[in-house]
Amino acid sequence: MGFKNNIISTQDEYITSPFGVRPNPLGAGTEFHNGLDIVSSRGLQKTQDVWSIAIADGVVTDKHNGELIGHGIDILHDGKVLSRQYHFKSASVLKVGDKVEKGDRIGILGTTGRSTGVHLHFGVKTGSTKWDNGDYVDPTPYLDGTKNIAISSDNVIPAKIDTPEREIREYLSSKGLSLYAAVGIMGNLYAESGLKANNLQNSYEKSLGFTDDSYTAAVDKGTYTNFIRDCAGYGLAQWTYWSRKEGLFNAAKAQDKSIGNLNMQLDYLWFELTTSYRGVLDELRKAKSVREASDIILTKFEKPADQSEAVRVKRAGYAQSYYDNYLGWYAPEVPTMPEATLMPETPTGTITKGSKVTINANAKYYTGGTIPLWVLADVWYVSSISGDRAVLGKNVSGKNDIQSPINVKDLVYV
């Protein structure tokens, strides 16, 4: 029938969730997973999109854009086997009635519908030419072994739209966070806001008379002035407490960005984690499991009213879903050490030339100048020390170099 050997396999693509009963990735208990979840590491990268392709010749019988499926498509092969592929980033390029040949591009991998991360759901039914009347079967035999999947390495194109998921993951990876730590944060952010940076807490949309968009615009324009004190959760982490909202507001002003800007919010999140929540970050870095990392963020950073076991399990489920997608290729960026620091680190915590340090939240430059938020939020290498003056050189990613003296007492050895 032409199913086999029609798909190019590479080590970059793999099945993250098989057919059959599995733990519910989005909550408690178990569920029947009626297909395969397939991830392409390149499809999770910011710069690349990956096409899902037809597994065999056939004709398009249905096209979807639903709450659970997101964007997807059904194809009838050989008049008797139906395949369904979904969670596409946008509508399939095909329409009902289109004829396809094996390997044809049908949709771009995405995370629409009930999904926490970019992947393809691939299901197969037999026994009927109508999807609703057919029976689910394990799709694996319709691929060639475990490596041949419905994604082709020939089908990578430059990405046009960044998903928040990619932005957030890359941001956290650039901070050198472990996979446990990164997914612990991401699962909680997904629970809080669905990763939507301009998300206004639903219960306040009615009472304040705003949508996510109109609230954000009113705060940006200054026509709504109660952002800090209105007790409405907002943003990726659904910041609610006035002092945290004030911090977010000031960060937006300092960066001259919208209050709903994703990258600004990530900078603020990181600022919180490296200053007032540094203890949480230290604990998070030591987490040995997805559940542990997720619980740390839930109970010590997000601190919602409901921290019951059910909530913990649900959030850890989101985190696990990211973990499953990223496992095997997630690599935190290794800090580039400036040449001057390629010496053994002083283990005592004494700050010397080459030490890796963070800056106290309320510190000023030695000259009295205000230290920008992004500098406070980063980790730096000391390039020289003279008396109580420490000159900070490059940051851990090696991308920035500030060369401004700061009093040694305002630095913390990390």
Rg (CA), the chain: 24
The answer to whether residues 234 and 226 touch, using CB atoms and an 8 Å cutoff, is no
CB closest to Zn ion, residue no: 121
Q: Is 200 buried (19+), middle (13-18) or exposed (0-12) by CB count in 10 A?
A: buried
Between residues 13 and 37, which has the closer beta carbon with respect to Zn ion?
A: 37
Q: How far is the CB of 110 from Zn ion (least distance, A)?
A: 13
Minimum distance from residue 37 beta carbon to Zn ion (Å): 4
Smallest separation, CB 48 to Zn ion (Å)? 22
User: Which of 121, 169 has the CB closer to Zn ion?
Assistant: 121
CB of 38 to Zn ion, least distance (A): 9
Q: Kindly list the residues in this chain that would bind Zn ion in the complex (CB under 5 A).
A: 37, 121
The smaller minimum CB distance to Zn ion, of residues 136 and 413, is found at 136
For the bound state, the minimum distance from the C-beta of residue 34 to Zn ion, rounded and expressed in Å, comes to 8
Helix (H, G, I), strand (E, B) or coil at 401: strand
CB of 183 to Zn ion, least distance (A): 18
Is residue 313 classed exposed, middle or buried when 0-12, 13-18 and 19+ CB atoms within 10 A define those classes?
middle
34 burial class (0-12, 13-18, 19+ CB within 10 angstroms)? middle
Parallel/antiparallel/unpaired status of strands 36-40 and 30-33: unpaired
Cβ proximity to Zn ion, 123 vs 247, nearer residue: 123
Q: What is the H or E stretch that residue 295 is in?
A: helix 290-297
CB of 139 or CB of 247, closer to Zn ion: 139
Residue 78 tokens read as 């050989």
Burial of 257 (0-12, 13-18, 19+ CB in 10 A): middle
Q: Which is nearer to Zn ion, 77 or 121 (CB)?
A: 121
